[in-house]
Amino acid sequence: MFHKEGQKIILITLVVVVVSFFVIDRTIDIEWLRKTLMIFVLGFFLLILQFFRNPKRNTHANEMQALSPVDGKVVVIEEVFEKEYFKDKRLQVSVFMSPINVHVTRHPISGKVAYSKYHPGKYLVAWHPKASEENERTTVVVENDSFGKVLYRQIAGALAKRIVNYAVEGQDAKQGADSGFIKFGSRVDLFLPLDADIKVELNQKVRGGESVIAEMG
């Protein structure tokens, strides 16, 4: 199953692969070189398919838990001052996505979308300290009774050139449901209340819509 954001790219890539196979077969006489080029082209196509896959996730909805918005590795767990929306201290948990991770962004909690904004910006590497404030990004805040307000931020990386955000202010957000997509590598920052009980560790691998990031007591 592939994400709708990848349908056009997959189709274009398939056409390029078919044409490339035809050209390679007709123009390259050296057998080992012909096979090597075909394997390379096929590998590229498989990489595109891998990137845009959208596997079903077994989300167990729980008002007292915040789930990981994306697949990847936890690279930041710290108390920070959130400047854009809260303008106070929050617990930040950041998940870095490599190009081979699933890049679907999912709502970490259920509730009402209180804020949704796109910010144009730079394309610093996703782990750069200033990426959260200077890169292209979108910020979404979802509110419910258990957590109050939770903010998550999609951040473009050096390879990511387009962020897709489906969250609209005033709409209902369902925990684990698609809320966007980031094309070709990046990270997501999650900002939680200071009294949230963090359930992950640095360098831990997490799955979007399944892994519990934090709980409210």
- pTM for this model (two decimals): 0.81
The yes-or-no answer on residue 116 being catalytic is no
What whole-number distance in Å separates Cα of residue 182 and Cα of residue 72? 13
- Please report which confidence band the pLDDT of residue 74 belongs to, taking 50, 70 and 90 as the band edges: very high
Identified catalytic residue from 116, 132, 179, 186: 186
What whole-number distance in Å separates Cα of residue 181 and Cα of residue 213? 20
What whole-number distance in Å separates Cα of residue 3 and Cα of residue 172? 21
What lies within 8 Å, CB to CB, of 23 at 6+ separation is none
What lies within 8 Å, CB to CB, of 28 at 6+ separation is 34, 37
The pair of structure tokens assigned to 140 is 């979404």
The pair of structure tokens assigned to 61 is 């909805």
Phi, psi of 67 (to 5 degrees): -95, 160
What whole-number distance in Å separates Cα of residue 118 and Cα of residue 128? 20
- Please report which confidence band the pLDDT of residue 130 belongs to, taking 50, 70 and 90 as the band edges: low
Question: Contact 136/19 with Cβ under 8 angstroms?
Answer: no
Per the model's pLDDT, the better-predicted residue between 123 and 148 turns out to be: 148
Position of tokens 């782990």?
127
The pair of structure tokens assigned to 105 is 């962004």
Comparing C-alpha atoms, which of 187, 173, 185, 168 is closest to residue 66? 173
Class of domain 65-215: mainly beta
Question: Contact 200/74 with Cβ under 8 angstroms?
Answer: yes
Express each pLDDT in 5-55 by its tens digit.
767 877 888 899 889 988 988 888 888 888 899 999 988 888 777 777 777
